[in-house]
Structures are given as structure tokens and as C-alpha cells.
Amino acid sequence: MKKLKIILTLIIISVPSLIYSQNFVYKPMNPFFGGDSFNYQQMLAEANAQNDFKEESAAPNTRATDLENFTDGLNRQLLNSLSQDLFQQQFGDTNFTVGTYSFGTFVVDITPSNQGLTVNILDTSTGEQSQIIIPN
């Protein structure tokens, strides 16, 4: 009996040293509240999957007809041909020369810069501007 008490006492004393505990630490999933930033895409995908609301488009997506595509292409070709003729009359077969040129309501200013040749285009009727840089 005494042996049994000693063995039982040894087991009771040694068991707590064999048992380990663990610290529980709370870490949020949402990156906006301190969670890992790699969770963002997954959480966004889950939210979008659960979203029942659909955005109504202002205008339905309609494709242009073949006739409209043909008309647009023809207009582009005519405008391109017209602009090529105007430039050909103004500059000839040579390269662009530095200066200011007027084409109706457009004022084209060609100046050299450290990046190359700078072409500033101003529409005097609307005030819109555009800049083209031709590298050296």
C-alpha cells in the first residue's frame, strides 16, 4: 500500500510538468482593423459574392452597326487625308520647321526642347490644348 501511495504521489507531481498550456492571441482578419494585408483580396471577393445589389448602367451597352462603323472609318480617313494635305502644303516634303502656324481655329507652335521637338496645339475656339513631343 505504501508503494502505491508513493507511485500515485509521483504521478500526481509529475503530471503537471508534462502538461503544457498555450497562449491564445486574438488577431483580426480584416486588414482595416490590424489584420494581415494579404487577406484583403479574399475578403473583397467574399463580400462581392454575397452582394445582391447590381449597379444599373446609365446607358445600355449597344454595339455600333456595320453601317455606323463604316461611316466612322470613312470620316477618319477623310480627316486624315485632309490633315495630311494641310501639312503637306505648309511644310512640304521637308521636316517640321520651328515656328507658329495657324490652321483655322488651331494654332500649332513648334519649338525645340531638351526632350526633342515639342509641338503645342491650341484650339482657339474651345481653349483645348495638346502637346506632342517628338524625341531626337
pLDDT per residue as tens digits for the range 7-23: 888 777 776 666 666 77
Parallel, antiparallel, or unpaired for β 129-135 and 99-103? unpaired
C-alpha cell at 111: 519649338
Distance (Å) of CA 41 to CA 28, 34, 48: 15, 15, 10
Three-state SS string across the chain, please?
Answer: CHHHHHHHHHHHHHHHHHCCCCCCCCCCCCHHHCCCHHHHHHHHHHHHHHCCCCCCCCCCCCCCCHHHHHHHHHHHHHHHHHHHHHHHHHHCCCCCCCEEEEECCEEEEEEEECCEEEEEEEECCCCCEEEEEEEC
Answer whether 0.85 is exceeded by the pTM: no
* Cα-based torsion angle of the residue sequence 46, 50, 56, 60 in order, rounded to the nearest 10 degrees: 70
| Residue pLDDT, tens place only, 46-56 | 888 998 888 77
Tell me the per-residue pLDDT of 57-89, one tens digit each, with 9 for 90 and over: 666 667 878 888 888 888 888 778 877 777 777
Residue 114: what are its φ and ψ, rounded to 5°?
-70, -20
